[in-house]
Amino acid sequence: MNSRSKPSNAQLSFTFIGHQTWLLSSPDANILLDPVLERSFGNSKHINFEIYPPRSVDIERMPELDAILLSHEHLDHFHLSSLNRLSRQVPVIVGKNMPMCVRDAIRKLGFEVRVQPFEQPIEFGDTRVSMHAPAAGTVFWEKRVSQYFITHGEVSCFIAVDALTSDRLEKDVVAGRMPVPDLIIVSNNSMVTPPGARAASPFSKGKTSLLSPGTGLSILDDLVGAAGRIAGPHTHIAICGDGHIDHVQDFGPFLHSDNKRLAELANGMGYQPVVHGPYPGERISIFGGNKFVDDRVSWIDYDGSRHEEQKHKLLTFLKSPVQGRLTGVVAPYVEDAQVARDIDIVEGYLVQLARLLLQLPPGRNVLAATEREWPNLGDRRVVVRFLVGDGRVAQYGLNVVTAKFERDTTPTARLTQVFPCGFEAFLRDFAAILRGEIQVWDIAGRSTYSWNLGDSYQGIEAVLLGDLGEQVRPELHTALFNAEIDRLLGAQTMAAA
């Protein structure tokens, strides 16, 4: 890697590498945040999300690092293959809530892991970085996010990552105990699928799904509004996130995922403060006196031609949407013995899931349903369907009287008439999650269908994101991380031989 590489006289600069990866530079340090450095990412052999907008990173020309900071455990922030390309002399710093399975995986790669208490600054000369717990209202699966507050001299920046602004930090800024940030970096996590895409459930019939469509203006209002909790009249906002393409889908990038276009829309409409939407390789530098300078670094190659192709694909899909068939992540079954094995695994989990659902919003909502709204309402009020292949389905209904999932034969055409809440996935994918071969994030919204009562956080899919994530089922993710690390280190050994 190169030695120090910073714009002269800048107190803080932030180079956008892609999605939510940033290089923070000051006169005292270069700090890499949530490194996803390859053209695509995923923590298993089954998954490959392409970074959007596309770019390539010349790691050898990247400035020499003083530290790597990881905000949380999700695969678009914690990418084993990217970490594996970095020097083991650089410490990896994580927050107090980082799951142990992630810490252990980083150590297995050969890094020193430092656990930093919340609100206690890490000092790099005159540059101070503190981590903050997100607001209490943050959704469960983002609860372990560490947010960053960075200061150098009179300049400061807050990076929200994927969570609501820290309650304590907001109080400290309002009370004057922390400075009003010059820059706030927010994450666009809208993931809006275009009408007609396969992620839009054919069962939904207007009911809320986990990926409910939004509009560019509503997304802007949410992002700028969230930042406004601690923003001052001269604070700038930078939008990142929504920066990947899932090739299981047919439409290219998500709607409203071109953050530069969102920023141009905001600034053209007179939004205050100024909004930035950098493409990979663009750098935002902050000088004293609230002076901002945008430029570009040479070690990140933004692929404009590929970007235009991706945008054209989305526009073409919007003109003539064609909903493809749901596609699984794991390879199809070869023999029935595999099907029987996976049914046993899934049925074992359904015992636990039944009890869990009844305690959480999906269960509470269906218990409140009445025959007035659902004339065909019976004791079974939640259905889960697992696609086996060749037209075969393993289908189960949650009986709210017995608190058990039972085999169900309701025809597909009548499912939304009978069940207020439902979920569909491939049997082989769901069993692979329970074996620790893929993560629940690998199928959510891309190889699943769902419908539910209430908003998008009150369905089965939201429950699964919490129950099968790294926070609750670390043993599953340990198995996956170990397999990926063994693959990475084995490939290095073979290359060196």
Residues 6+ apart with CB under 8 A from 234: 182, 273, 290
The answer to whether residue 207 sits within a structural domain is yes
Between 424 and 209, name the one with better pLDDT: 424
Between 366 and 445, name the one with better pLDDT: 366
Q: Which of 319, 352, 368 is the last residue of a domain?
A: 319
Does the pLDDT value for residue 185 go beyond 50?
A: yes
Which pLDDT score, from 0 to 100, does residue 91 have? 98
The answer to whether residue 496 sits within a structural domain is no
Q: 328: helix, coil or strand?
A: coil
Task: Supply the range of the domain harboring residue 382.
Answer: 336-479
Considering the domain architecture, whether residues 310 and 370 belong to the same structural domain is answered as no
Considering the domain architecture, whether residues 61 and 114 belong to the same structural domain is answered as yes
The answer to whether residue 142 sits within a structural domain is yes
Q: Which of 285, 319, 353 is the last residue of a domain?
A: 319
Considering the domain architecture, whether residues 139 and 262 belong to the same structural domain is answered as yes
User: 322: how many CB neighbours lie within 10 A of its CB?
Assistant: 10
Residues paired with residue 246 on neighbouring β-strands, in sequence order:
49
Which pLDDT score, from 0 to 100, does residue 8 have? 56
Please say whether the beta carbons of 310 and 54 come within 8 A: yes
Does the pLDDT value for residue 200 go beyond 70?
A: no
The answer to whether residue 495 sits within a structural domain is no
Please report, as a single letter, which amino acid is at residue 205.
K
Considering the domain architecture, whether residues 222 and 341 belong to the same structural domain is answered as no
Which pLDDT score, from 0 to 100, does residue 467 have? 95
Q: In what order do the strands lie in the sheet with 30-33?
A: 113-116, 92-95, 67-70, 30-33, 21-25, 12-18, 282-287, 291-296
Cα dihedral sign for 33, 34, 37, 39?
A: negative
Model pTM score: 0.91
Which pLDDT score, from 0 to 100, does residue 47 have? 78
Tokens 């636990």 found at:
352
Which pLDDT score, from 0 to 100, does residue 215 have? 64
Give the pLDDT confidence of 202-236 residue by residue, as tens digits. 443 333 333 333 466 777 778 877 777 899 989 99
Does the pLDDT value for residue 288 go beyond 90?
A: no
Please say whether the beta carbons of 262 and 239 come within 8 A: yes
Considering the domain architecture, whether residues 301 and 369 belong to the same structural domain is answered as no
- Cα distances from 443 to residues 67, 327, 424, in angstroms, run 32, 10, 11
Considering the domain architecture, whether residues 121 and 228 belong to the same structural domain is answered as yes
Considering the domain architecture, whether residues 308 and 409 belong to the same structural domain is answered as no
Considering the domain architecture, whether residues 80 and 137 belong to the same structural domain is answered as yes
What is the average pLDDT value for the chain, to the nearest integer?
90
The interaxial angle of helices 259-268 and 216-227, nearest 10 deg, is 80
Which pLDDT score, from 0 to 100, does residue 43 have? 85
Considering the domain architecture, whether residues 356 and 301 belong to the same structural domain is answered as no
Q: CA 218, CA 216: separation in Å to the nearest integer?
A: 6
Residues 409-426 have a mean pLDDT of: 95
The answer to whether residue 331 sits within a structural domain is no
Domain count, the chain: 2
Please say whether the beta carbons of 153 and 126 come within 8 A: yes
Report the phi/psi class of residue 495: left, alpha or beta, with left for phi > 0 and alpha for psi in -120 to 50. Answer: alpha
Q: In what order do the strands lie in the sheet with 392-399?
A: 404-407, 392-399, 380-389, 421-426, 448-451
Which pLDDT score, from 0 to 100, does residue 7 have? 53
Which 8-state DSSP code applies to residue 64? P
The answer to whether residue 113 sits within a structural domain is yes
Considering the domain architecture, whether residues 143 and 83 belong to the same structural domain is answered as yes
Which 8-state DSSP code applies to residue 333? P
Give the pLDDT confidence of 431-471 residue by residue, as tens digits. 999 999 999 988 887 788 889 998 778 899 999 999 999 98
Does the pLDDT value for residue 243 go beyond 80?
A: yes
Give the pLDDT confidence of 472-493 residue by residue, as tens digits. 999 999 999 999 999 999 877 7
Residues 107-136 have a mean pLDDT of: 96
Give the pLDDT confidence of 42-93 residue by residue, as tens digits. 888 777 889 999 999 999 999 999 999 999 999 999 999 999 999 999 999 9
Which pLDDT score, from 0 to 100, does residue 235 have? 94
Q: CA 215, CA 364: separation in Å to the nearest integer?
A: 30
Residues 253-272 have a mean pLDDT of: 88
Here the CATH number for the domain that contains residue 417 is: 3.30.1050
Residues 241-263 have a mean pLDDT of: 87
Give the pLDDT confidence of 158-183 residue by residue, as tens digits. 999 999 999 999 999 999 999 999 99
The answer to whether residue 411 sits within a structural domain is yes
Q: CA 447, CA 425: separation in Å to the nearest integer?
A: 6
pLDDT band of residue 250 (cuts 50, 70, 90) is confident
Q: Chain centroid to CA 404: how far?
A: 32
Which pLDDT score, from 0 to 100, does residue 455 have? 78
Give the pairing type, strands 12-18 and 49-51.
Answer: unpaired
The answer to whether residue 493 sits within a structural domain is no
Among the listed ranges 52-66, 243-257, 367-381, which one has the minimum average pLDDT value? 243-257
Which pLDDT score, from 0 to 100, does residue 65 have? 98
Which pLDDT score, from 0 to 100, does residue 217 have? 72
Q: What percent of the chain has pLDDT over 90?
A: 71
Considering the domain architecture, whether residues 283 and 417 belong to the same structural domain is answered as no
DSSP string, 156-221: EEEE-TTSPPPHHHHHHHHTTSSPPPSEEEEE----BPPTT-TTS-TT-TT---TT----HHHHHH
Q: CA 275, CA 316: separation in Å to the nearest integer?
A: 29
Does the pLDDT value for residue 380 go beyond 70?
A: yes
Here the CATH number for the domain that contains residue 288 is: 3.60.15.10
Residues 9-21 have a mean pLDDT of: 93
Considering the domain architecture, whether residues 257 and 406 belong to the same structural domain is answered as no
Q: Which of 319, 350, 381 is the last residue of a domain?
A: 319
